[in-house]
Amino acid sequence: MSLDEARSAIGARFSGAEVGTGTPLVVTVSPGQWAELAAFAKETLGCRFFSFLTAVDWKEPGLEVVAKVDNLDDGLAVMMKTRLGPGVSTCASLTPIYRGADWMERECWDMFGIRFDGHPDLRRILLDDTWEGHPLLKSYAVDTPHPPYR
């Protein structure tokens, strides 16, 4: 599927989606459409390769979840985004759709404290289970002391 075909297919299916023009194709949808967009990307756009999932803390506007998937046959790359909104830290999980999202969402929970609804095993992955706080939030200062590493 070409870039233009993908743009029009997304525009026709997801009303209110912001669709970019460049490569990778950036698509922003509401959190309610998040899992639906991922399923659409996989089944209809043929983006079966799961590249990565992460989040960005935009401070007052809140968190944004970002995931990138590729169609390796056509070289189509789609970067999906959703803004969770101020103070919101829950999001639908993509793990039932892409198995590669499993560890990435665990990392995202670890680093940003985002709860992914529908994730089968959401626990910390890089930090210790007893760690307090989520380091990649902008409110988490770089030099935050944490026992036993004071």
| Residues in touch with another protein (CB under 8 A) | 24, 48-52, 54, 56-57, 66, 68, 72, 75, 79, 98-100, 102-103, 111, 124-128, 135-136, 140, 142
Nearest approach in angstroms of CB 12 to another protein is 25
| Between 44 and 52, CB nearer to another protein | 52
Those residues whose C-beta lies under 8 Å from the C-beta of residue 137, and which sit 6 or more positions away, are: 57, 112, 113
| Between 15 and 128, CB nearer to another protein | 128
| Between 10 and 111, CB nearer to another protein | 111
Nearest approach in angstroms of CB 97 to another protein is 9
Q: Can you read off the two tokens belonging to residue 116? A: 């992914």
Q: Can you read off the two tokens belonging to residue 37? A: 């967009």
- The rounded distance, in Å, linking the Cα atoms of 144 and 53 is 26
Nearest approach in angstroms of CB 15 to another protein is 25
Q: Where are the beta strands (DSSP E) in the chain?
A: 18-19, 25-29, 49-57, 63-71, 76-85, 90-92, 115-117
| Between 30 and 103, CB nearer to another protein | 103
Find the Cα–Cα–Cα–Cα dihedral 1, 32, 59, 54, rounded to 10°. -50
Nearest approach in angstroms of CB 64 to another protein is 10
